[in-house]
Chain A
Amino acid sequence: MKYRIFLLSALLMTAALNWGQSIAQEDKRSEAELIAALNVPDDSDASVRQFSLAAKQLAVTGTEAAIPALAAKLDSERFSHFARYGLETNPSPKVDEVLFDALKIIKDTKRLVGVINTIGERKNPQLIEELPRLNMQTAVFTASLAAIGNLGTPEAANALLDVITKGLPDQSADHLSQTDRAAIGDAAFRCAELLFRSGNAEKAVELYDAVAATESMPGYVREAAIYDGILARKADGLAVVVKNLTNENWNVFTTALKAARELPGENVGAALLDAAKAEENGNLSSERKAIVLEAVANRYDKAVLPELIAGVKSDNQTIRLASIRGLKYVGDASAVDALLAVAVQTGEENVAASQAASYTLVWIPGETVDAKIVDVLKNGNDAARIVATKLVEERRIKSAFPVLSAAVVDKNKDVRKVSLEAIAETAGLEEIPVLYELLAKASADEDIADLQRALKSAAGRQSREPAAEFVISLYQKAEGNAKLFLLELLATVGGDKAVDFVSSQAWISDRDTVDKASAVLGNWADASQHAQEALLKIAKEPKHPFQRRGIRGYIRFARQFNMNEDERINISKTVFDIASNREDKALVFDVISRNPTEKMLAYSLTFFDNDDFKEDAFKAAVAVGNKVQGKPAILNDAMKKVVEATKNAEAKEQAQRILDRK
């Protein structure tokens, strides 16, 4: 329920935003006007708002001319951020001058950090020279390091290496918190990744290794340094991965194996497998072996296939599960026997492996795999057949149909149920009669529901015209509730033949059939011409027992479906003329509100002098006004009329807001 509310709020977002509000993207002021707006009289909220709007626009369009007025506010508590907002993206080098000037003046730590952050964004190398002169409060210091890291140059790297290896320029690093140390590490990482991207992998590795070697760094930062160091070394990173296979720190081990998944090189997988078996690494725990196997599999490296197949049969649950998961990536027909053997196992101790094996089997391609699954379907015990049937469904193995169709009358209820679901996913048109015959014979409500669902699933995937012909042929021989269900089935099939036939049944003498046929038409899944004609015919006939259903079904096309405006208005006009009920006539205003365009607004105007419907029309016009952008002349005129004539206070207020918007 909460999620629905969330979804609704997202849907209403666009409507909400336009209720009398200005559009952020429509500030058309000249630069001179924007600069003038920066000249605020005080630091009131109104002034902040005025300043912020101008600064935001100048962030995109401002030239050198805008710099002085923005820079003047860099040391202001209320305006500093907005000043930086306007300056940060301005390409003029004069911005850097005013930022460095501000560094000398600003005493407030927070504002100083803000200015340094902006210098960092602008990647100005002058900051390295300024570093020794800055106040050494850690917030300022770490901001400066982050800014230096963002330069991504060898000079920046050297400055950071100095800090990492020697501590702060003027004092011991001992007082730094773990968070501050992590910030230093992060500055180094940022610098290193930029160096790596620019082709200087050597310097990047130097930075990563320096962080990894600094014992005072938080553990996860050092682990990240190892991870990044492996990747920065490219193919040479493999040696670091291998070295860490036996690292006593589990996190370092898993970090190295995560990197191994991403390392370039064809031989990475085989080398890892060899290393994992090597005598010097002979004592790898099963947990570690499992991670190695899965990492190689995630590389889509077939070198691991034999070990995974062996692993599927392992008594060790960790190895077994990792092997099964890994086969999703590299498995082929050679793995299927082992996987099927696990998938059909029963007992609580095998549930996890069985489910995992079934899941993996869905992903392994090939007809050989299909054949082996069908073999289990034919020869397995009930539990195995159920597993195999689910696989047939998810893999859509059509060749299994004969076995499945026999299984739908199995004495085991669970077998029957899964077989039906599988048939629904595999049946072709020629196989639908089997399902239908079963439906005809079924007596239990649950079986009937399952069969109807299966028939809809199967029919919904067939070519429309032959499927419709076939269902119609069944209908002509059917009786009672079976006929009514077949009308629903025709709706699932869809297409002109189906709609025409259902339409024909909406005019016969049997009331139940007419009821069902008109209901099916009223919910038709598309707005095809045939569907529209079918409903219009009912809507126009006062003697039809479900004329109102026809009216509502017909206007539903205009309310909910995609069509051009003229067509939408024509349907609305027709319904307004045909309907005798006020409630039905008023549906045209829902069409207008849901489809806010100027043409629909013009249509709403035609009701402004209609005493019975003018208030509905006013509300619909306001709804359109709230949703369209700008204020075209027709909207202006319409809203003036609403303000003058409506008796609804809310409509009046909203119309006035639309008139007032710029």
Chain B
Amino acid sequence: MSEKKQRIARREFLKCAAVTGAALGVPQFIPGKLLGKDGATAPSEKIVMGAIGIGARGGHDLSVFLREKAVQFVAICDIRRERREAVKNMADQKYGNKDCAMYRDMFEILQRPDIDAMLIATGDRWHALASIITAKAGKDIYCEKPLSLTIEDSRALADTVNRYGRIYQAGTQRRNIGNFLLAAKIAHSGKLGKITRVHANTLHPATTNDWLPEEPLPNANEIDWDRWLGPCPWRPYNINYTRGAWRGYFDFHGGGILEWGTHTVDLCQWGNQSDDTVPIKYWPVHESGKSEIPSWLRPPGATMQDEEGVRGTTVCAQYANGVELVMRDKGWLGLGTCSARYEGEEGWVETGDSGRMAVSSDALRSEIKVFHEAGTSPDNHIREFLECVKTRRNPASSASVAANAHIACHCAYIAWQLNRVVEFDPKTERFINDDDANRMISRAKREPWRL
């Protein structure tokens, strides 16, 4: 067993391959009481938590954490005063006290010995480094995705989390949502035959190097712009960056493959039982008249759009075992955002955020389930994280598992940027005979930041 493989949690679903005869089911909820005595958790037994960088998405996560009786939330760190205060109000209101402490500097909050675990929901530019700093401070981590901006950051994150023996759960909550669980279980069960191709719903890969117009720099207590930028290249302040408009900028965002691929490529890695590796070859698909669109990219009864004369948005990849991974934003059956599809020699299953599932044949329809409500809730995922903080087993979206899914996304994005085929060695995590691609594995960090 390789060193890297040792660090990946044994996938419990591997066992499903042996139950091909049986109908498949999945538990809908992880009971909160798995964590212990509900309602009577002594303060000393609670998981004490803080958070770094809580905006819209983080606030949603935090509301789930606050509902859990096993959690005591005690402190917020944010470079925006407004958000620090909003989170403090949220926590104080929940507990009926004024105890939630506020910090601007993450090193200060991380020095608190009483804190066991941190919720990190900054913008993407900080996810890897903040998680690394948190792991180095001896805390467990629940961090939103995408967890990194580069291949190097992804690996460094997993290495650091593993180095300190921390529990890490990436915010790829679909690993704990019914329809996605069931789809993966069907893929693992052998009911689709040997898996040949997996499909991940991604968005347009492009990003820009443009700057927004400069605005007057606020007082650092209001918004600490230098800390907001963190390891990223300097640029003039504009408030819109701090309000979510950082998406789409190369310095802060990995584009559409990372935006959703971190969910859906992760689902494909899972469905393909390849959590411990990544594809070895990546190529952008030219959706133009000059380059034929492979027929297998076309779902039944439809053909891909033909964008003549422009670079396409689809990137394909291939695992060492021959299974293909298709990252595309088109041609889905309309089962909702973040769709994923597993194809085998004997059939396929597709599902998405609507909760609906589709299968290739009537024979497979008995395996699926009608989920009456759409669901992207992180409740079960967060509950699993909390259970793991207590028991010290690795959760479904551990740092190693998430790092591999992210590395696959980064490789695809690099192939798309270079607009050509690239080959990748999962063992050395270097591209093969491709200097340009290898020079895109990392980016120099603004001083004084380092991994």
A220 near B138: Cβ-Cβ < 8 Å: yes
Cβ of A610 to closest chain B Cβ, rounded Å? 25
Binds B, one of A276-284, A510-518, A624-632: A624-632
Which of A85-93, A305-313, A432-440 lies at the binding interface?
A85-93
Is the Cβ of B448 less than 8 Å from the Cβ of A114?
A: yes
Instruction: Please determine whether B447 and A197 come into contact, CB atoms closer than 8 angstroms.
Output: no
Q: Are A10 and B233 closer than 8 Å at their CB atoms?
A: no
Partner of B334, one of A49, A91, A351, A561: A561
A113 within 8 A of B: yes
Knowing A81-B234, A224-B164, A356-B31 are in contact, say whether A321-B307 is a contact too (CB < 8 A): no
List residues of A (310-355) whose CB comes within 8 Å of B's CBs: 317, 321-322, 325, 328-329, 351-352, 355
Q: Is the CB of A121 within 8 A of B442?
A: yes
Cβ of B295: which chain A residues have Cβ within 8 Å of it?
none
Q: How far is the CA of A81 from the CA of B59 in the complex (A)?
A: 33
Contact A628 B310 (CB under 8 A): yes
Interface of A is mostly: helix
A548 within 8 Å of B (CB atoms): no
Contact of A45 among B19, B236, B448 (CB under 8 A): B236
**Interface flag for A456 (CB, 8 Å):** yes
A110 within 8 A of B: yes
Q: Which residue of the partner chain, among A53, A322, A526, A595, contacts B209 with CB atoms under 8 Å? A: A53
Q: In the docked arrangement, what's the CA distance between A486 and B207, Å? A: 49
Q: Decide: A25 and B3 in contact? CB cutoff 8 A.
A: no
Q: A143-B448, A220-B138, A365-B19 are contacts. A394–B26 as well, Cβ < 8 Å?
A: yes
Contact of A85 among B36, B138, B417, B444 (CB under 8 A): B444
Check A355–B31 contact: CB distance below 8 A: yes
Q: In the bound complex, what is the Cα–Cα distance between A16 and B366 (angstroms)?
A: 42
Interface residue? A298 (CB, 8 A): yes
CB neighbours of A396 from chain B (8 A) = 23-25
In the bound complex, do residue B443 and residue A59 qualify as a contact, i.e. CB atoms below 8 Å apart? yes
Known A-B contacts A7-B337, A24-B250, A262-B7; the reply to A462 vs B206 at CB < 8 A is no
For residue A398, CB closer than 8 A to chain B, the reply is yes
Tell me whether A465 is interfacial, beta carbon within 8 Å: yes
A526 touches B372 (CB 8 A): no
**Shortest Cβ distance from A140 into chain B, in angstroms?**
10
Question: In the assembly, what is the distance between CA of A186 and CA of B206, in Å?
Answer: 36
A248 CA to B153 CA, complexed, in Å: 36
With a CB–CB cut-off of 8 A, which chain A residues contact B391?
Answer: 291, 294, 298, 322, 325
Closest to B448 in A: A113
Size of B's binding interface in residues, CB under 8 A: 111
A644 to chain B, nearest CB (A): 24
A10, A45, A52, A632 — which one has the most chain B CB atoms within 10 A of its CB? Answer: A10
Most chain B Cβ neighbours within 10 Å, of A81, A143, A182, A424 = A81
Q: A118 in the interface, Cβ–Cβ < 8 Å?
A: yes
Q: Which residues of B contact A53 (CB under 8 A)?
A: 209
Cross-chain contact A460 with B370 (CB below 8 angstroms): yes
CB proximity of B430 to chain A, nearest CB, Å: 12
Whether A457 is near chain B, meaning CB under 8 Å from some CB there, is yes
Task: Choose among B301, B330, B447 the residue that contacts A110 (Cβ–Cβ < 8 A).
Answer: B447
Rounded to whole Å, the gap between the CB of A626 and the closest CB of chain B is 12
Asked whether A197 and B306 contact (CB < 8 A) given A110-B447, A394-B25, the answer is no
Give the chain A neighbours of B356 by CB distance below 8 A: 525
**Most chain B CB inside 10 Å of its own CB: which residue of A25, A223, A224, A264:** A25
Contact with A along B31-63 (1 / 0, CB 8 A): 101101110000000000000000011011000
| Residue A648 CB within 8 A of the other chain | no
Q: Which of A6, A49, A562 has the most CB of B within 10 A?
A: A562
Task: Please name the residue on chain B nearest to A321 by beta carbon.
Answer: B36
The B79-125 residues at the A interface (CB cut-off 8 A) are: 107, 111
Say whether A3 contacts B365, CB under 8 Å: no
Stretch at the interface among A252-260, A579-587, A611-619: A252-260
Q: How far is the CA of A118 from the CA of B372 in the complex (A)?
A: 53
Complex Cα–Cα for A385 and B267 (A)? 36
**Complexed CA–CA distance, A533 and B120 (Å):** 51
The reply on A117 being an interface residue by CB < 8 A is: yes
> Which chain A residues (482-525) contact chain B, with CB distance < 8 Å?
492, 525
Can you report 5 A-B residue pairs in the complex whose CB atoms are below 8 A from each other? A2-B56, A193-B163, A259-B165, A394-B26, A465-B362
Interface residues of B (CB under 8 A from A): 1, 3, 6-7, 10, 12, 15, 18-19, 22-28, 30-31, 33-34, 36-38, 56-57, 59-60, 107, 111, 136-138, 159, 163-165, 203-204, 206-211, 214, 233-236, 244-245, 247-250, 253, 256, 259-260, 299, 301-311, 330-334, 337, 356, 362-363, 365-370, 372, 376, 387, 391-394, 416-417, 419, 435-436, 438-450
